[in-house]
Amino acid sequence: MSILQAIRIFLFYLLLGTSSMLWCSLSFFIAPFLPFPKRYRFINVYWCRCALFLARTILGIRYTVTGAENVPEQPCVILSNHQSTWETFFLSAYFSPLSQVLKRELLYMPFFGWAMAMLRPIAIDRNNPKEALRQVASQGDELLKQGTWVLIFPEGTRVPYGQIGKFSRGGTALAVNAGLPVLPIAHNAGKFWPREGWGKRPGTIEIVIGEPMYAEGTGPRAIAALNERAQAWNEATQQAMGALPPVPENAEQNIA
C-alpha cells in the first residue's frame, strides 16, 4: 500500500467516524418523533449515502448496478452474499425501509448501535441458534407485513473475496412462510473492500440484482429447493463477474 493510499484510508475513517457520531447524536433528538419510514430514511439512508460518497471521492470505490428493473414493488426478503461492510452501506441506502439480521452486541455500541436500535433490526443472539431462527421467523414476518424489506446474509458472516459460504435456509423459510419471493443479489465488494483489515483499493464494485425467486410449493422441501436455487444463482453470477473461479469442466461432467 502506498503512503498516499494510507492517508486516504485514514482520512476516510476519520470523516466516517466523525459523521457517524454527529449524525447519530442528531438522530436521538429528531428520529424518535418521526414515523418509521421517515425515521429510517433520516437515520440510515442519508448517512449510508454519505458513507458511499466518502468511499467514492476519497477511496475511489465506485459501483455499478445491473438488474435494477428486477426489484419488485412489494418489499420481500433480500438474499445477498457478504464480503465486507460496503454492501451493508449500499443495501441499506438502496432499499428503504429495510431491516436486517445482525448480532445483538452491535446495538450496545455507542452512538452507532443506539441509532441502529431505532431502525427495527432483528438483533439475534448467535450463541442460541434455535432461538435466533424463531426470532427471524416471527420478527421478519411482522416486518414484511408492515412493508419493510428484510435483508439476510445467508452465509451468516463475511466471506473472503473469491469464496462463497453455504447458504442457511432462514431467509428462504421466511419468504416461503410469508408467501413472498426472495430477491437475490450478488456483488464483488470484497475485491476492493476486504473483509478484514483497513486496506482498501480503488475500483468499481459490480452489483447484480436477479429476478425475484418464488418457491414451488410450501414446506421444508420447497424451502430447501429455493435456497439451493438462490445459492446456485449467486455462485454462477459471481463466477460470471470473475469473483469466483469457474467450475472445472470435469466437475460439470461428474455432476451430469
pLDDT in tens, 175-197: 999 999 999 999 999 999 998 88
**Which stretch of DSSP H or E encloses residue 209?**
strand 203-209
Count CB-CB contacts under 10 A for residue 173: 22
Domain boundaries, the chain: 3-245
Angle at the Cα of 182 from the Cα atoms of 53 and 78, rounded to 5 degrees: 25
Are residues 185 and 80 in contact, defined by beta-carbon separation less than 8 angstroms?
yes
Confirm or reject CATH 1.10.3210 for domain 3-245, answering yes or no.
Answer: no
Buried b (16+ CB within 10 A) or exposed e, 196-208: eeeebeebebbbb
7/50 Cα distance (integer angstroms): 19
Quote the mean pLDDT of the chain: 90
pLDDT of residue 251: 52
pLDDT of residue 255: 46
Local confidence pLDDT in tens for the 256 residues of the chain: 688 889 999 999 999 989 888 888 888 888 888 999 999 999 899 999 999 999 999 999 999 999 999 999 999 999 999 999 999 999 999 999 999 988 888 888 777 777 888 888 998 887 888 888 888 889 999 999 999 999 999 998 899 999 999 999 999 999 999 999 999 999 999 999 998 888 899 999 999 999 999 999 889 999 999 999 999 999 999 999 999 988 666 554 454 4
Secondary-structure percent of the chain, ordered helix, strand, coil, rounded to 5: 55, 15, 30
* pTM for this predicted structure: 0.90
